[in-house]
Amino acid sequence: TARNPGESEFHQAVDEVFESLGPVVARYPDLLDSAIVERICEPERQIIFRVPWTDDKGRVHINRGFRVEFNSALGPYKGGLRFHPSVYLGIVKFLGFEQIFKNALTGMPIGGGKGGSDFDPSGRSDAEIMRFCQSFMTELYRHIGEYTDVPAGDIGVGGREIGYLFGQYKRITNRYESGVLTGKGLSWGGSLVRTEATGYGAVMFAEEMLKTRGQDLEGRDVIVSGSGNVAIYAIERAQALGAKALTASDSSGYVVDTEGIDLELLKQIKEVERGRISEYAERRGPSARFVSDGSVWDVPGSVALPCATQNELNGRQAKRLLENGVVAVAEGANMPCTTEAVHLFQESDVLFAPGKAANAGGVATSALEMQQNASRDSWSFDYTQQRLQEIMRGIHDRCASTAEEFGMPGNYVAGANISGFIKVARAMVAQGII
Ligand code: NDP
């Protein structure tokens, strides 16, 4: 804390991993000798830069850009860029730290990194977004590359932004380096299933957890928060498996739809029109209502998928979900549940999947995009989705068997942290004190 003052989200993420590591250092004392724990908490490189841009009225704005290259033991730094006014170094470090273990869990050769800016894209025109992205890349380009650091999207950064970023990278470097960014458009190096991957993957993970108790998603009421990339495709996948997704939200409130979310309407409002979730209720008819106060977690359902942002589900809300009979929670977002909420779920024997396991499908499919770029190939939707399904099953099984091996059966948090940590730590030891 003294070394990284004020970075509360980063402290929370580190504490959560360290809570699991007692049995690991007891079993492998050599990891302590080479100061792995201290080294893993210190990013290899942190870049902070000025991003000047001009709005449509000619006014000049200055934002702050970040890229934290956290750990390259397993491969080039890999992780998304977030554009949101709440972004500061502590957020980028928490996300980058999580990313190290998540990427290790996927089994793919990728290190951990994250970046972004405190830029607020809401209400900005296309031209303003483009100018911002171009200015951001004008500094970032010198730090990234197929073999160095491969950014992708996150909150506020989707296909449109990746396009502008890629265009500027290509222009500055005079290289068509497809593997420098992931989340690209399908006609210029993107991968099928990348858009769907995080949401689909979170539901696949929930399915695997339910399977361990002889259960599935069919006929269940599912409570989803968020209405961005992750939430939309979590809803799509849950509904394909026979569940009813009842809710979606954004920072202004949530909608409940007793007939289940109409996905076409949600996509039209959020992906095409970039509108607000309240418009969904206005256009959907009597089955839906918009609620601007209270919390989406008040709505009863047996599966909860928090897919919006960090610390969006606290202890009080976890209690409410438990009273309403929740049996499984899978984090589509990064660290959406507070530490208190996680402990409450675990004490109540709820199946709980931490984000670094449940939402790893996105980065795993980004690694599949890198494979396709490296071999100048593009795979079919079915094949890529099958690879994603195998990867999610693999992550689930790795978390479950590691938790069991270390005497904590059913504890996916411990399983994910221990399994990811051991893999990275072993590689760091092998590569010497660097
Ligand atoms: P999007 O920008 O597409 O959507 C984010 C959604 O969350 C929006 O509905 C947004 O509402 C809401 N939201 C964001 N911040 C807040 C806030 N402070 N309070 C309330 N609501 C908020 O992002 P993604 O769907 O890509 O990301 C969602 C989460 O999933 C993040 O935690 C991200 O790190 C994580 N994730 C994403 C991956 C991906 O592949 N995209 C991969 C792995 C994890 P509003 O529009 O009102 O801000």
Strand partners, 113: 69
122-174 pLDDT, tens digit each: 999 999 999 999 999 999 999 999 999 999 999 999 999 999 999 999 999 99
Strand partners, 47: 67
Binding residues for NAD(+), as ranges, are 198, 229
- Nearest C-alpha neighbor of 97 from the set 335, 385, 295, 386: 335
Amino acid type, 188: W
pLDDT band, very low/low/confident/very high, at 24 (cuts 50, 70, 90):
very high
Given this model, what pLDDT does residue 7 score? 97
Give the residue ranges of DSSP H helices in 52-158.
89-106, 126-140
- Nearest C-alpha neighbor of 88 from the set 63, 118, 110, 45: 118
pLDDT at 246 over 80: yes
Across the range 243-272, mean pLDDT stands at 98
Given this model, what pLDDT does residue 289 score? 98
Distance CA 189, CA 182 (A): 8
pLDDT band, very low/low/confident/very high, at 33 (cuts 50, 70, 90):
confident
Residue 57 catalytic?
Answer: no
Q: List, by residue range, all CATH 3.40.50.720 domains of the chain.
A: 205-358
Across the range 18-45, mean pLDDT stands at 91
Interface predicted TM-score (ipTM) over 0.90: yes
For residue 230 and ligand 1, the question of a CB distance below 6 A is answered with: yes
In CATH, the architecture of 205-358 is 3-Layer(aba) Sandwich (3.40)
CA of 227 to the centre of ligand 1 (A): 8
Strand partners, 304: 223, 329
Q: Report the residue among 154, 266, 292 best suited for mutation to probe ligand 1: largest number of ligand atoms under 8 A from its CB.
A: 154
CATH code for 42-179?
Answer: 3.40.50.10860
92-113 pLDDT, tens digit each: 999 999 999 999 999 999 999 9
Q: How many CA atoms lie within 13 A of 180 on its CB side?
A: 22
Amino acid type, 137: M
Given this model, what pLDDT does residue 1 score? 77
Q: List, by residue range, all CATH 3.40.50.10860 domains of the chain.
A: 42-179
Strand, coil or helix: what is 22?
helix
Pair 339, 13: CB distance under 8 Å = no
Distance CA 149, CA 169 (A): 13
Protein residue closest via CA to atom 4 of ligand 1: 228
**Exposure string (b/e) for 338-354, b if CB count within 10 Å is 16 or more?**
beebbbbbbeeebbbbb
278-308 pLDDT, tens digit each: 999 999 999 999 999 999 999 999 999 999 9
Antiparallel, parallel or unpaired: β 77-83 and 247-250: unpaired
User: Is the pTM above the cut of 0.90?
Assistant: yes
Distance CA 192, CA 401 (A): 31
Distance CA 336, CA 45 (A): 26
pLDDT at 309 over 80: yes
- Nearest C-alpha neighbor of 217 from the set 230, 204, 226: 204
CA of 413 to the centre of ligand 1 (A): 21
